Structures are given as C-alpha cells and as structure tokens.
Amino acid sequence: MKRVILASTSTLYNGDYLDYLLPTLQNHFEGCKTLLFIPYARPSGISHDDYTTKVSTAFSKINITAKGIHEYENLTEAIQKAEAIFTGGGNTFLLVSQLYKNNLMTVLKNTIEAGTPYLGTSAGSNIGGMTMNTTNDMPIVLPESFQTLGLIPFNLNPHFLDANTQSTHMGETRETRINEFHTISNIPVLGLREGSWLEIYEENITLKGELTARLFRQNEAAIELETDTNFNFLT
C-alpha cells in the first residue's frame, strides 16, 4: 500500500527545518532506522552534501539516519532497497530533469507504490502529482518530460497564495496561473497553503493541517476544502 506525505513546505513560521512535521513523520516512518534523501532540487543552489547534512540534522531528532542518493554508486538499487525516501524542495525543473537523466522516475514511482514510505516537500511534493506543470518554479533546465509520479490523480500547487487585493503588484495571481493551465488541461489542481499536507494511505488521500486548500477544476468554480477532506471523489 502507498504510504505518502506530500507537504507544501519544509519550514513553517521561521521554525527549524521540518520541525512542524516531525510528530507526524515519527508515525509515518515508524520502524524505519534509515532514510534515502533525494537532494536534486537544490534550493538556493545548495550542494547535495550540504542539503543532506541539513536533512540529517532534522531526522536525527526522530532517530532516523539520512543518506543522500548521490552517495551511492547504484542509484536504482539505492531506491529499491531504501527503508524510507524523502525528496526535498527547491527547483522542480532541476529535480525532474535529474530524475529522468538518472532513469529514476519510474523506479521511484514503482518503489513508492510497492509500499516504501515517502515524504515530499515543495518540489518533492510537486512530483507526486500527475505532472509538474503547476509548479511555481523558474524553468532553469528543460526536463525530458513534465510527467511525474502520479501518486495522486491531480496536480499540486504548493505554497499557494491567495490574491492580495491591497497589493500594488501587477503580476498574475496563483489562481490566474492555474486557470491558464486549465485552458489546455483537465487535470485538477490543489492549491496547498503553507503548513498543509496530504496523507496518502492505501486509496485515501486526506488533507491535513489547520488551513483549507483550494481545488481548481477545468470549467468549474474553485472551491475551498476543509482539513480531513478525503479526495477519493477525484479518483
């Protein structure tokens, strides 16, 4: 069965990395002593080693040892033999490009669907959707494909922000961008606000956190969904 958490963000309200999620992760990764970390998204250009050190510090608080996938010679085997897997945030284009370059997208999908517990934050959550087309990130590289893991039957927009009617910013809102996506695609999109996450266990996809999430569907008005909503109605 799938055991997946897809979170909007890794850090909340100036807290330490992953701190707000650690109680949930302790249950999610119960029985796991080691974790494979995929650092390919490289937020702010951080190195794979430095990113892994940051993750290791966080997971040591719940007695889990993290090791970066870049430290292995056989990347496919590293995924297949992992007790648990975490893909961190950063640039989704870079992340997806590296997964395809190393022929890991399919093996990652198959391993997660076979039951290896998975955590994604930000870019690592984007790849849990059907495609990465609703990321907020700059296209700094061109991936082989925009198709991603398809762990859920819709796309995500992490870090979703509501329009600020008092702002003088003249750029497009997140809602506008998602509506543009829906001129060419019928894939639903969930705007996931900071501090919110999805828990996917077996066939149940449940919204967690204190805030609502905003669901967009082609040719329909967007709707707000409460915590503990089950997204089975989208399957």
Q: By the 8 A CB rule, do 117 and 88 touch?
A: no
Handedness of CA 149, 69, 116, 42 (dihedral sign): negative
β partners of residue 129? none
The token duo for 178 is 């998602």
d(CA 118, CA 232): 20
Decide if 13 contacts 50 (C-beta within 8 A). no
* Pairwise CA distance, residues 234 & 178, whole Å: 17
Nearest to 85 by CA among 4, 26, 164, 10: 4
Please give the positions annotated as active site.
122, 137, 159
- How many other β-carbons are positioned within 10 Å of the β-carbon of residue 110? 13
Task: Give the single-character DSSP code of 153.
Answer: S
Single out the residue of 149, 222, 123, 147 nearest to residue 182, CA to CA.
Answer: 222
Q: What counts of helices (H) and strands (E) characterise the chain?
A: 7, 11
Integer Cα distance of 210 and 91 in angstroms:
26
- Written as six digits, the tokens of 184 are 């060419």
